[in-house]
Amino acid sequence: MTGSKGSVAVIGGGVIGLSVARRAAIDGYAVHVHRPGGQEYGASWVAGGMIAPHSEGWPGEERLLRLGLASLAMWNTEGRDGFLDGLPAEVVTARESLVVAVDRADAADVKMVAEWLAAQGFPVTPTAASREIEPLLAQGIRHGFRVETELAVDNRAVVDALAAHCERLGVRWASPVGALTEARADTVVIANGIDAPSLWPGLPIRPVKGEVLRLRWRRGCMPVPQRVIRARVHGRQVYLVPRHDGLVVGATQYEHGRDTAPAVTGVRELLDDACAVMPALGEYELAECSAGLRPMTPDGLPVVGRLDERTLIAGGHGRNGFLLAPWTAEAILGELNGVPVAEADLVGSAMRIQ
């Protein structure tokens, strides 16, 4: 493919790298993506796929909330300007979130988040009758809030669909690189998750482990819920994300280097908490236990911006890679075109890299 605007090499084949590659190709750049073969998509392959800035929000994360809301709007935009354009409709598995609490302390936390969102100008819909909204919830779960604009997507289907769309646009695949000098292009975009510091030492990105479970519906079981259920369970957080054949349950979060083996303690906590929220899940099939490494930054904000005249960075998205993929793709395109996007001032991490 010969691009009218020049050539771009994207290093990384997860949701961020593919989103950047697709957007650049649409805009007229010749793009190739350096990625591992097979299904080695790192954190993107293990993710829950929640597009949920409200229910992920927490006091003190105001900048991340605003960034997430800007990206959610891109997910929800219909037509050629929307992020879902060119992707199968089936990648969306839910179109609402319900946040609930198991005990009184949890209910106080959920109420605090709802009040914080309202104070930021983004109110949610509180409820004291959560089981009327979702009858499969455990008895005694009443308090929470719902967010009608949030989504969930099948993370693996999105990665595959983005790759297929890239191919239709003429994006080419290339082998992984060990140094930036191996990428032959006018501009190089680093988007390889936890491995970004190996290409640009000093990037404030570290791996944070998280276990995720996949539960498969079986004949005779209660049906899969139609919305994302996010719950606080005795101070811990658990989410239940619908898939067409079951649920994704996640996720733990702790520092453990590059270990990706699911630990018994993490899996047990996720199963206990999921069943405390929705007891009927005990009859589902435990189809998969996996662990991924989120690329985290010290302040929780992604590292998106220009490193030098030739090199851009799109990394450090932590638990929000799928949520922030549309915004990141637009931010990188803005840098390529010399017109940074309006929300770029929200991303402070990149500005501190020297």
pLDDT digits (tens, 9 = 90+) for 92-126: 999 999 999 999 999 999 999 999 999 999 999 99
The pLDDT of residue 342 is above 70:
no
State pLDDT tens for residues 121-161.
999 999 999 999 999 999 999 999 999 999 999 999 999 99
Could you give the percent of the chain with pLDDT greater than 70? 94
345 pLDDT band, cuts 50/70/90, is very low
| Beta carbons of 185 and 7 less than 8 angstroms apart | yes
Q: 35: Cβ–Cβ under 8 A, 6 or more apart, which residues? A: 12, 13, 17, 173, 174, 176
Whether residue 41 has pLDDT greater than 80: no
Residue whose tokens read 């911006």 = 305
**Domains of the chain listed by start with CATH number:** 1-92+151-204+298-354 (3.50.50.60), 97-147+206-296 (3.30.9.10)
Which pLDDT does position 40 carry in this prediction? Answer: 52
d(CA 159, CA 172): 16
> What is the rounded distance in angstroms from the CA atom of residue 27 to the CA atom of residue 22?
9
The predicted structure's pLDDT at residue 42:
80
pLDDT in tens, 193-217: 999 999 999 999 999 999 999 999 9
The DSSP code sequence of 276-317 is HH-GGGGGSEEEEEEEEEEEE-TTS--EEEESSSSEEEEE--
